[in-house]
Structure 1
Amino acid sequence: MINVLIVEDDFRIADIHEKFLREIDDVNIIGKALRASDAMEIIEKEQVDLLLLDIYIPDKLGTDLIHEIKKKHVDLDFIVITAANNTELLDTSLKSGAFYYLLKPVSISKFTDVIESYKKRRKSLKSSEFVDQKFIDDLIGNKSIERGTTSELLPKGVNPLTLNKVIRFMEELPNGITAEDMGLKLGASRTTARRYLEYLVSIGKVKAELEYGIVGRPERMYFSDSKR
């Protein structure tokens, strides 16, 4: 059983994340904290394994809270769930030991995938005293739910935050999308959108098919692999 504390100052979002957690086996919700001070108080009193942490909380930046907690609770893990989409905070969070970095709004499928991956890594570490290279490779691979989002080196011109946006959009589009329409959703050019979509095709997260319009001209449509 994993004991989880939600640290989120928007009670509506906290309630949504609590609802998501209740759909996942072997998870015990310790509580919800609106402030860093509330989180610290709960951590001192309760056994907490995992924090779901927002970056922007009223009395302290989430990344600062991680450093403060780690001084006394080195085994406590973090998953950042935030609207903060700048590279500096992503980099700081990952260097501080965050297991994953999720951008709001988070779909239930993405949320569940990340929690299940965390559970798998935690179970693996507790199941074996000694490791070989395959064990290590599998374990590190589990940390990146989407290949190439954060822990792997991305191709030139592919930004991890934009890539996560494209992935989220694809999860919400069961009927597929063209590169041109994806560009409109991203506020970017068709060429930029195609670069991200084709990268996802190359790693098996998206499938591409040719479809014919009214005038008979083939058009490349992209579909989330989970929707096919």
Structure 2
Amino acid sequence: MIDVLIVEDDIRVAEINRRFVEKIEGYRVVGVANTGEEAKEYLEVMQPQLVLLDVYLPDMKGVELVWHIRQRYKHTDIIMITAGGEIETVQESIRGGVFDYLVKPVLFERFKRSMEKYRQYLTTLSKHHQLDQKLLDQILWSKEEITETPYGPSLPKGIDPITLEKVVQIVSDYETQGITAEQVGVQMGASRTTARRYLEYLVSIKRLKADLSYGSIGRPERRYYPMTSL
């Protein structure tokens, strides 16, 4: 579990952020601080792995807390969540090494993507004793491409690991008769084109098999099966 400290002076927003975190697997909130001084106390006692930090606090600026964390807690990372998008604030936050910068109002999908990329970033670091140029480029310049999954060390752009797992589960229920891209799309709530993109990727990495099914009427259908079938 990744321990998260929320630092937000607006109680309503803090509660929204807490609920967002609790919806995402692998995270837990260990504290909610409404001031910078409260945050410092939580940091000293809890030493969370991740801080969700607002820029505007009643007793200090959030960027001051960024440098406080950098100087004292080298294993703690920061994601800024704030209404403040001023250039100077963003620049100083980036200089302080924040992992991401979200501007309010934050949509859950954007929040979730940031948290998932952070978890994938940690997974990448934990699985490699030494990083080559490709992995370093992904970590430093292209966090969107870092995806450690059961399907390989990285996933191509446009392939989401959670959706990929859902597609695998759907196909596994059709071991005998197979399933078409259109049928998968209906079950996953996506278009046939999207479903086919995931299905063909799974075929390319040999997690699924595909075969043409010739019906009595119309063109042949491409059906997908688990690797244990056919």
TM range (shorter): 0.5 to 0.7
What amino acid maps onto 2:116 in structure 1?
E
Q: Provide the TM-score with structure 1 as the length reference.
A: 0.61
Partner in structure 1 of residue 133 of structure 2? 133
- Report how many residues are paired: 145
- How far apart, in 1, do the equivalents of 2:30 and 2:37 lie? 16
2:60 is equivalent to residue 67 of structure 1: no
1:221 corresponds in structure 2 to: none
Contact 1:8 1:35 in 2 (8 A): yes
For residue 7 of structure 1, what is the aligned residue in structure 2? 7
Secondary structure of 1:5's aligned partner: strand
The answer to whether the Cα contact below 8 Å between 1:117 and 1:142 also exists between their aligned partners in 2 is: no
Structure 2: stretches of 5+ with no match in the other structure: 146-230
For 1:75, give the aligned amino acid.
H
What SS class does the counterpart of residue 97 from structure 2 fall into?
coil
Pair 1:96 & 2:96 matched: yes
1:142, CA displacement in angstroms? 4.3
- Write the distance in 1 (CA, Å) between the matches of 2:108 and 2:122: 21
Deviations 1:130-162 (A, max 9, x none): 1111111222344368xxxxxxxxxxxxxxxxx
Structure 1: distance between partners of 2:73 and 2:99: 15
Give TM-score scaled by structure 2 length. Answer: 0.61
Match for residue 114 of structure 2?
114
Which structure has the greater CA radius of gyration?
2
**Cα distance in structure 2, aligned partners of 1:17 and 1:38:** 17
Aligned partner of 1:152 in structure 2 is none
Cα distance in 1 between the residues matched to 2:135 and 2:143:
13
Are 1:56 and 2:56 counterparts? yes
Secondary structure, in 3 states, of the residue corresponding to 1:131? coil
Q: Which residue matches 1:34?
A: 34
Q: Tell me, what secondary structure is at the counterpart of 1:56?
A: coil
Could you list the runs of 4 or more consecutive aligned residues of structure 1 that deviate by over 3 angstroms after TM superposition? 141-145
Q: Percent identity?
A: 37
Gaps of 5+ in 1: 146-228
Q: Partners of 2:140 and 2:3 in 1: how far apart?
A: 22
1:131 partner amino acid: L
Asked if the contact 1:100–1:143 (Cα under 8 Å) also holds between the matched residues in 2, the reply is no
Q: Over the residues paired in the alignment, what is the CA RMSD in angstroms?
A: 1.3
